[in-house]
């Protein structure tokens, strides 16, 4: 009887524990992707980017004689229907860890097992399952450095190569057409522009990893904070859809550390551990994705949406480093990590706005959106999260720009108004934003939404009042 492989954020053939186990059995395989309400609920950019990932994965399966069957509807309903149609004996999937996925998968597993079917979930999205890493007392880690000490030398299973032989079905059940799903329908922000920056699929992801490890990794430690330089791996977009396996990335970086790119490779491994840490936190404290991790922050006078917050979303705050970051996100679908911290600090401190508003905006705009990393990032900057930067440490965007974008190359790259001869990327922002905003590159650059010193003082006063 066929085995249904329910793919979600594991759209690859190599370093795929579920697929390796299924291939070893020699049973006929029915690869499936479901557009269920949980997946539909994603933001515009990640949903659009998911469509590219699914298309590339379907092609990779096709080349091996398999078909990716596409179905739409609540997961359990779809799975039951497909079992009835094909006589499948079971459903396998790679585990996810965000609260909506966990709720769905738990219900699916219980129901399938209750119907006498084999329902099995596999590891594969993370270096270690979030519950495997424990403190000496048997609890979970709330601070990164001891977590890092616990995982730095912890063995990670080696990546399995893509299976040589995969057995498909003799006759395939009917499939939706991907185009009919219109996954890009909500992407009003210039999908053709963002598309130029995406490296879609397993082969592209692997090539990116190889290129990074052959060069930039050596100077990663010093250049990872310089947004004008392509000094990081840019793998987040691929990791989030599982176009490349984390174990493969980890082992490749370990080899580079041994071969001599020591310092850079070590810093890179540490960042991969940050990703795992965010999942560790989300597993043990799922509320991190929506509410203050430290409940005492519930009393903080965060502001809700406002005209200032809208100017932030638009990249029109008048603070160049902040605007450059938000515009980078419009144009490329991503934003440099240093700048993510600066724009998040500006929103939550200078504009005193609730971090959830920023989290939601990122979730709508980032093609590398990840539920755990996004939540941890926002709460870390806002001060409400575990191991967070203390609230009184307010990033000064001008100071950050001076330090990490000394020559101004990054700001010029994305801010047309600041240059007599703006480049293509700075101009692309004006094509990417909705026409209704009526923005033109020859308009003057906006005056600052808030004076930096005043914004800082206001944030600290609110913080002091809360502590009083
Ligand atoms: P590299 O520097 O090459 O790092 C390699 C990998 O390590 C990344 O691909 C990523 O998987 C992981 N990583 C690196 N830094 C972090 C981090 N701080 N937290 C968790 N994992 C990390 N990352 C996302 O993948 N999705 C998000 O939605 C996201 N939202 C964020 C929101 C805020 C407010 C902040 C401050 C950070 C956020 N990050 C998020 C983390 C980080 O900015 C990105 O992972 C990184 O910029 C991706 O670029 P890269 O692949 O070149 O990273």
Using a pLDDT cut of 70, give the percent of the chain over it: 99
Cβ–ligand 1 contact at 369 (below 6 Å): yes
Q: Are 4 and 83 in contact (CB under 8 A)?
A: yes
Residue 261 pLDDT > 80:
no
Cβ–ligand 1 contact at 253 (below 6 Å): no
CATH of domain 1-124: 3.40.50.620
Mean pLDDT of the chain: 96
More confident site: 435 or 220: 220
Distance, CA of 338 to CA of 322 (rounded, Å): 11
**What are the residues facing 403 on neighbouring strands?**
none
Q: Where are the domains of the chain?
A: 1-124, 126-156+193-284, 295-467
Please give the distance, rounded to the nearest whole angstrom, from the Cα atom of residue 240 to the centre of ligand 1.
Answer: 10
Active site residue 181: no
pLDDT at 424: 96
Q: What is the pLDDT of residues 84-125, one digit of tens each?
A: 999 999 999 999 999 999 999 999 999 999 999 999 999 999
Fold of 295-467: DNA Cyclobutane Dipyrimidine Photolyase, subunit A; domain 3 (1.10.579)
Active site residue 93: no
Cβ–ligand 1 contact at 238 (below 6 Å): no
DSSP 292-304: -SSGGGGGS--B-
Question: Domain 126-156+193-284 belongs to what architecture?
Answer: Alpha Horseshoe (1.25)
- Tokens (6 digits) for 118: 């084999």
Residue from 118, 129, 266, 271 carrying the catalytic annotation: 271
Residue from 302, 361, 369, 380 carrying the catalytic annotation: 302
Active site residue 274: yes
pLDDT at 190: 85
Residue 138 pLDDT > 90:
yes
- Tokens (6 digits) for 144: 């990164």
Active site residue 369: no
Please give the distance, rounded to the nearest whole angstrom, from the Cα atom of residue 215 to the centre of ligand 1.
Answer: 20
Distance, CA of 455 to CA of 433 (rounded, Å): 27
pLDDT at 468: 58
Cβ–ligand 1 contact at 225 (below 6 Å): no
Residue 191 pLDDT > 80:
yes
Residue 10 pLDDT > 90:
yes
pLDDT at 189: 80
Do the bridges between strand 69-72 and strand 90-94 make them parallel or antiparallel, or are there none, so unpaired?
Answer: unpaired
Active site residue 396: no
Active site residue 292: no
What's the pLDDT band for 387 if we cut at 50, 70, 90?
A: confident
Neighbours of 446 (CB within 10 A): 15
Which of ligand 1's atoms lies nearest the C-alpha of 246?
11
Distance, CA of 65 to CA of 261 (rounded, Å): 40
């Amino acid at each position: 009887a066929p085995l249904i492989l329910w793919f979600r954020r594991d759209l690859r053939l190599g370093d795929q524990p579920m697929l390796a186990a299924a291939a070893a059995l020699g049973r006929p395989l029915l690869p499936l992707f479901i557009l269920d309400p949980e997946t539909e609920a994603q933001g515009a950019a990640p949903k659009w980017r998911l469509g590219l990932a699914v298309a590339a994965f379907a092609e990779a399966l096709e080349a091996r004689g398999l078909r990716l069957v596409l179905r739409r509807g609540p997961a359990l309903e779809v799975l039951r229907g497909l079992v009835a149609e094909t006589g499948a004996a079971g459903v396998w999937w790679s585990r996810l860890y965000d609260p909506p996925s966990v709720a769905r998968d738990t219900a699916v597993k219980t129901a399938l097992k209750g119907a006498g079917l084999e329902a099995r979930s596999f590891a594969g999205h993370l270096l270690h399952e979030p519950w495997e890493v424990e403190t000496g007392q048997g609890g979970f880690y709330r601070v990164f450095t001891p977590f890092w000490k616990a995982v730095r030398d912890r063995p990670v299973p080696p990546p399995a190569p893509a299976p040589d032989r995969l057995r498909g079905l003799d006759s395939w059940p009917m499939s939706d057409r991907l185009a009919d799903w219109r996954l890009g329908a909500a992407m009003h922000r210039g999908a053709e522009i963002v598309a130029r920056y995406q490296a879609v699929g397993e082969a592209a992801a692997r090539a990116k990893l190889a290129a990074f490890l052959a060069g930039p990794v050596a100077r990663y430690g010093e250049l990872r904070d310089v947004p004008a330089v392509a000094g990081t791996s840019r793998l987040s977009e691929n990791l989030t859809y599982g176009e490349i396996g984390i174990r493969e990335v980890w082992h490749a970086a370990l080899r580079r550390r041994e071969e001599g790119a020591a310092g850079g490779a070590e810093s890179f491994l540490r960042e991969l551990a940050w990703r795992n840490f965010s999942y560790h936190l989300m597993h043990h404290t799922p509320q991190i994705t929506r509410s203050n991790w430290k409940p005492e922050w519930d009393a903080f006078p965060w502001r809700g949406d406002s005209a200032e917050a809208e100017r932030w979303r638009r990249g029109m705050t008048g603070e160049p480093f902040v605007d450059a970051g938000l515009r980078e996100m419009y144009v490329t679908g991503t934003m440099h990590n240093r700048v993510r911290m600066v724009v998040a600090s500006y929103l939550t401190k200078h504009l005193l706005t609730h971090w959830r508003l920023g989290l939601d905006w990122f979730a709508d705009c980032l093609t590398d959106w990840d539920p755990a990393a996004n939540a941890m990032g926002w709460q870390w900057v806002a001060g409400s999260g575990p191991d967070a930067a203390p609230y009184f440490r307010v990033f000064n965007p001008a100071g950050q720009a001076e330090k990490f974008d000394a020559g101004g190359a990054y700001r010029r790259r994305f801010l047309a108004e600041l240059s007599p001869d703006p480049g293509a990327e700075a101009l692309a922002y004006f094509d990417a934003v909705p026409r209704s905003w009526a923005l033109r590159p020859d308009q003057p650059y906006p005056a600052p939404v808030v004076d930096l010193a005043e914004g800082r003082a206001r944030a600290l006063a609110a913080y002091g009042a809360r502590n009083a």
